[in-house]
Amino acid sequence: MARVTRESFFTAAFAVLAQEGFPGVTAAGLCQRLGVTRGSFYHHFGSFEIFIKDLTAHWQRLYTDNLVAMAQEERGPLGEQLHAFVHMAASLPHEVEIALRVWGTMNHEVREAVAHVDQLRIVGLADALTANGFERVVAQQYSRLSIAALIGAQLSVTPLTEDYLNELLEPLQSDLEELNPARRRDAGRGR
């Protein structure tokens, strides 16, 4: 039998969230899924509340911190950077994110974690736009709108595909490329 780690519990919880929603995420259910005793769960986490905190922190690391860092490393024209953000948004575990958002309506810690992740995503996209010459306020407005569109799509479209996200966000991408200060400066120089 493979050694069960904290990450094993997180992976199992993500699978349960995607398949059953948040009510299926229990210490007993996760232990049964992993074939271990509850003692193993409490050895790793101490309490279910600590598990929730650590699970949402793990979700943030995997699906926000790492993705934002990768997107910020993307170099090249703004259009390529925006395409990278859409590609990363399409790769998110949408069923897990939906379940966390629903869970957040009933659990304060999950609600705070979801709001924090949304804010990090907004800031990450706004930083990329600011690095391309956009005024911070404009970058934040477009970033909030983009993340709101992603959340709305997650909650209303199944399955959420990269093609759908590209179609949904294409008008925003076009506006941003048209408004891109670097592009406008280059055009003014005759490039």
The CATH number of the domain where 79 resides is what?
1.10.357.10
Full-model pTM: 0.89
Measured from the Cβ of residue 138, the count of other Cβ atoms closer than 10 Å reads 15
Cα-based distances in Å from 191 to 79, 91, 120, 160, 183 = 17, 35, 35, 38, 9
Q: Which pLDDT score, from 0 to 100, does residue 26 have?
A: 97
Percent of the chain with pLDDT strictly greater than 90: 62
Place of tokens 């059953």: 20
Give pLDDT tens digits for 142-162.
999 999 999 999 999 988 888
Q: Is 24 within a domain?
A: no
Angstrom distance (rounded) from CA 139 to CA 28: 45
Higher-confidence position of 175 and 56: 56
Q: Is 26 within a domain?
A: no
Residue 45: phi, psi to the nearest 5? -125, -25
Q: Is 76 within a domain?
A: yes
Which helix (H) or strand (E) covers residue 105, if one does? none
Q: Which pLDDT score, from 0 to 100, does residue 191 have?
A: 52
Q: Which pLDDT score, from 0 to 100, does residue 68 have?
A: 80
Q: Which pLDDT score, from 0 to 100, does residue 75 have?
A: 67
**Domain hosting residue 144, numbered range:** 52-188
Please tell me the total count of domains within the chain. Answer: 1
Check if the beta carbon of residue 149 is closer than 8 Å to that of residue 96. Answer: no
